[in-house]
């Protein structure tokens, strides 16, 4: 049954996406570890980590596209789930430091020693085990999303109002995590990581392994997402995106459908954050900043919402642009990002992946032959 579920979502587009990811998972490690450093085909370890970071963002974008593109829930707080997953992983990495911290305390992380704490808070218990932290990466964002969604969807909060409270959610978490007495390192966050699963986190092989793990997580999430979208449940999601009350009168409890997609999406965002943290070496409250969530929305819009593959493409391209701009013309980056969003909204409503279809429709005679009765529908949509 599970196999059938995965096969259901596999079309030509999914095949291309998975082939590209498989290619990356093989070629990038080979170019880094086995191609000699003086060869033009050599990839530096810095580039590998950078690519890994892009793919973590791609996974966040995929998660966001699942709720925005297919359920019409524009989340302006998805980075909150990403950051919570990141913190769960960060807590595990902090526990792995052990007595090698600056203060050499075998029991407490440095920032707790600094704050004169005597013992580990209860919510840090268990994070010295990888399996527990990995579970929390899914459970914490998932549980928060479930509780938030349960109240929001039951109360029939939709549209702009829902977007605003998702933004408020991530802002509230930002403020909370800034506080030292929350026990998550305050504004410095968690950093100075040494080991992951017993391997040196700075070692080239570990970094390559983290990259491969990110590719695998992205591929698996993509398959899950396209399986969900390809199922009848996915059709219900698209239907309720456009005409929710109609779906209700058909007997579907739309709240539980939205809750399912929303929680699944939050778990994916959590995994993205958990893979992000060991590759960048730090997690701090700035990840909760509303701007991070809004940037994620722009990635999805650029790639094409409601396409899954577009979300991945958009996240990678925009972040490559960001890396270039912040290096070459740092003061222009935010203008470029804002301009990009405006341009995409005006000229590419379906994003880069929709560009092909958009051009085809523009060609004279083409639209008339494929959609003979499109006129009334267009008018109604306007």
Partner 1 sequence: MSAESTLLYLDGVSVSFDGFKALNSLSLVMMPGEMRAIIGPNGAGKTTMMDVITGKTRPDTGTILFEGDTDLTRLREAAIANLGIGRKFQRPTVFEPHTVWDNLELALKAPRRPLKTLTYAISRDDRSRIEEILDITRLSALRSRQAGSLSHGQKQWLEIGMLLAQDPKLLLVDEPVAGMTDAETEQTAELLCSIAGKHSVIVVEHDMSFVRALGVKVTVLAEGSVLAEGSLDAVSANSQVIDTYLGR
Smallest gap from residue 140 Cβ to partner 1 (A) = 22
**Which x/- pattern, by CB under 8 A, does the window 171-190 give for partner 1?**
--------------------
Per-residue binding string, partner 1, 312-351, x by CB under 8 A, is ----------------------------------------
Query: Residue 27 interacts with partner 1 (CB under 8 A)?
Result: no
Q: Are 55 and 214 in contact, with CB atoms under 8 Å apart?
A: yes
Query: Of the ranges 23-31, 112-120, 207-215, 373-381, which one interacts with partner 1 (CB under 8 A)?
Result: 373-381
Helix (H) or strand (E) holding 190: strand 190-191
Q: Which of 228, 272, 301, 309 binds partner 1 (CB under 8 A)?
A: 228
Q: CB of residue 63 vs partner 1: minimum separation in angstroms? A: 18
User: Min. distance of Cβ 75 from partner 1 in angstroms?
Assistant: 19
Stretch binding partner 1 (CB under 8 A), from 51-59, 91-99, 139-147, 252-260 = 252-260
Q: How far apart (Å, rounded) are the C-alpha atoms in residues 162 and 148?
A: 11
The yes or no reply on residue 158 touching partner 1 (CB under 8 A) is no
Count of CA atoms in the C-beta half-sphere (13 A) of 208: 17
Give rounded-to-5 percent helix, strand, coil for the chain.
75, 0, 20
| CA geometry: angle 270, 226, 354, nearest 5 deg | 100
Q: How far is CA 373 from the centre of its chain?
A: 39
Among 130, 252, 333, 341, binds partner 1 (CB under 8 A): 252
User: Which SS3 state, helix, strand or coil, does residue 217 take?
Assistant: helix
Half-sphere exposure of 312 (CA within 13 A, CB side): 24
Pick the piece of the chain touching partner 1 (CB under 8 A) from 163-171, 199-207, 229-237, 310-318: 229-237
C-alpha to C-alpha distance for 240 and 254, rounded to whole angstroms: 7
**377 near partner 1, rule: CB under 8 A:** yes
Count CA within 13 A, CB hemisphere, residue 160. Answer: 0
Contact positions vs partner 1 (CB under 8 A): 1, 4-5, 228, 231-233, 235-236, 238-239, 242-243, 245-254, 256-257, 260, 371-374, 376-377
């Amino acid at each position: 049954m599970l196999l059938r579920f995965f096969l259901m979502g596999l079309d030509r587009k999914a095949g291309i996406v998975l082939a590209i990811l498989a290619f990356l998972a093989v070629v990038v490690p080979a170019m880094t570890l086995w191609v000699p450093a003086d060869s033009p085909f050599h990839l530096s370890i810095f580039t590998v980590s950078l690519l890994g970071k892009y793919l973590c963002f791609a996974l966040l974008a995929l998660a966001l596209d699942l709720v925005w593109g297919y359920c019409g829930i524009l989340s302006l707080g998805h980075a909150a789930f990403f950051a919570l997953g990141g913190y769960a992983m960060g807590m595990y990495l902090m526990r792995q430091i052990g007595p090698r911290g600056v203060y050499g305390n075998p029991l407490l992380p440095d920032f707790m020693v600094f704050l004169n704490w005597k013992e580990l808070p209860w919510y840090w218990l268990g994070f010295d085990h990888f399996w527990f932290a990995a579970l929390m990466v899914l459970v914490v964002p998932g549980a928060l999303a479930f509780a938030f969604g349960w109240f929001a969807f039951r109360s029939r909060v939709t549209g702009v109002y829902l977007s605003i409270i998702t933004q408020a959610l991530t802002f509230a978490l930002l403020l909370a995590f800034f506080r030292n007495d929350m026990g998550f390192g305050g504004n410095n966050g968690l950093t100075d990581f040494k080991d992951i699963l017993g391997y040196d986190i700075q070692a080239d092989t570990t970094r390559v392994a983290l990259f491969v793990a990110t590719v695998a997580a992205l591929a698996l999430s993509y398959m899950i997402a396209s399986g969900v979208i390809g199922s009848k449940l996915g059709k219900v999601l698209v239907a309720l995106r456009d005409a929710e009350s109609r779906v209700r009168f058909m007997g579907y409890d739309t709240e539980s459908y939205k809750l399912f997609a929303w929680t699944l999406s939050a778990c994916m965002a959590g995994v993205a954050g958990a893979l992000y943290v060991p590759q960048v070496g730090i997690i701090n409250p700035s990840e909760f900043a509303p701007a991070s969530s809004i940037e994620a929305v722009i990635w999805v819009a650029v790639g094409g919402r409601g396409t899954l593959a577009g979300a991945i493409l958009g996240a990678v391209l925009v972040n490559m642009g960001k890396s270039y701009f912040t290096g070459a013309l740092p003061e222009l980056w935010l203008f470029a990002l804002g301009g990009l969003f405006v341009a995409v909204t005006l000229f590419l409503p379906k994003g880069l992946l929709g560009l092909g279809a958009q051009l085809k429709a523009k060609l004279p005679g083409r639209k008339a032959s494929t959609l003979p009765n499109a006129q009334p529908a267009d008018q109604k949509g306007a």
